[in-house]
Structure 1
Amino acid sequence: METFVLAGGCFWCLDAVYRDLDGVADVVSGYTGGAVPDPSYELVCTGSTGHAEAVAVTFDPDVIPREVILDVFFTLHDPRQLNRQGADVGTQYRSAMFYTDDEQKVLFEAAAARAADMWDGTVVTQIAPLGEYFAAEEYHQDFFAKNPNQGYCLAVAVPKVNKVRKSYAEYIKAA
């Protein structure tokens, strides 16, 4: 098993998409990249902690290739938007990849280069070493499945989930 820590806007969307993929064993929404120990959602939302909303995606690379996990990341959010995704604005919504070793750093850099070809514009995704990762509050875990009719989920998460399901159909878990 391997874990990638990725930030691309609100963690609810990333969580929803990655839970759909075959070979993904766990997704933990959380916060990283900041300076405040054990921050709360409310504090991170102020933008004052330096943390990004992120997901720790644990997967089996023998079932789903590392490159697919990373290409999905660049499919489900717009890596050209600095410190935002759509109406979600602030450094907590930045596009970022947090690596644990040199091998991950190289994989992340290659994925960002592929994304530059995928998107018409400059990719602003931050690639940085992973510091401490703090799991988000329990109500954020698997939020989309628990709240499928919530307004944000319907307006923002559903289109992203559908886009990934269509683009990566061969990796979607059987129902």
Structure 2
Amino acid sequence: MKRIIPLLALALFFSCQNTAQSKKEQDAVMQADPIEVPIKNRKARAYFASGCFWCVEAIYESVKGVDESISGYSGGHTKNPTYGSSNTGRTGHAEAVEIIYDPKVVSFETLVDVYFASQNVTQVNGQGNDRGPQYRSIIFYQNEEQKQIILKKKTALAKKLDAKIAAEVYPFQKFWVAEDYHQDYEKLHPNNSYIRAVSIPRLNSFKAKFPKEFLKEETH
């Protein structure tokens, strides 16, 4: 028994050290200068986290001007996150999407409107039954102009709803592309039980209330 107590104390000591170190690393991510992704082939990129990336990917691909939505991970302090590691909640990363869009067709401001219109904006650490820090809501900004757009809309929405908006606002650092089997998941697996019960209803709910002029006529 005398040996067990010191061992438990030692384990607790290192656990606290690891937690403190993780918090320090995560704070550094949140306080870092944003990295701006240059326009390439006349296409810009934006990054959002809003629960399961299968759902968010399909939502953004229903918007005019969006060429592609890629599932991945962002917002954390570890390198090379995977689906398994992010699900532990210890990497700091959230399931996120990279939106490749034509800024002449759809603005960053409209993409932020899509973000807020397609989720439960007051739910902390998740969307629906998908819960945990890996499912938390984050909007990433790449410059001061984007940051002010986000903050202005978040403040206005909080006032309108008289509620606290859960979305965190992070400086963009890096996007890690998710495993191949996550890409276009809703499109490739329309009969999957989760897709039918969660992804498609969430997409249809968004499309029903968002202005039609911003939506593609034919979407998957």
Structure-2-length-normalised TM-score = 0.75
Distance 2:160 2:50 in 1: 16
* Structure-to-structure mapping, 1:28-43, within 5 angstroms: 28-43=70-85
Higher relative CO (CA 8 A, sep ≥ 6), structure 1 or 2? 1
Who is 1:49 aligned against?
91
More strand by share: 1
Who is 2:113 aligned against?
71
The two structures, once aligned, show a CA RMSD in angstroms of: 1.5
Distance 2:156 2:185 in 1: 30
Q: 1:142 pairs with 184, 188, 191, which one?
A: 184
Runs of 4+ in 1 over 3 A off after TM superposition: 117-120
- Flag the structure with larger Rg: 2
List runs of 5+ in structure 1 lacking aligned partners: none
Who is 1:154 aligned against?
196
List runs of 5+ in structure 2 lacking aligned partners: 1-42
* Structure-to-structure mapping, 1:19-34, within 5 angstroms: 19-34=61-76
Structure-1-length-normalised TM-score = 0.93
Number of aligned residue pairs: give it: 175
Who is 2:136 aligned against?
94
In structure 2, relative to structure 1, the CA distance for the partners of 1:135 and 1:12 (3 Å cut) is same
Distance 2:143 2:172 in 1: 9
8 Å contact kept, 2:108–2:146: no
In structure 2, relative to structure 1, the CA distance for the partners of 1:167 and 1:137 (3 Å cut) is same
Amino acid at match of 2:205: K
8 Å contact kept, 1:8–1:79: no
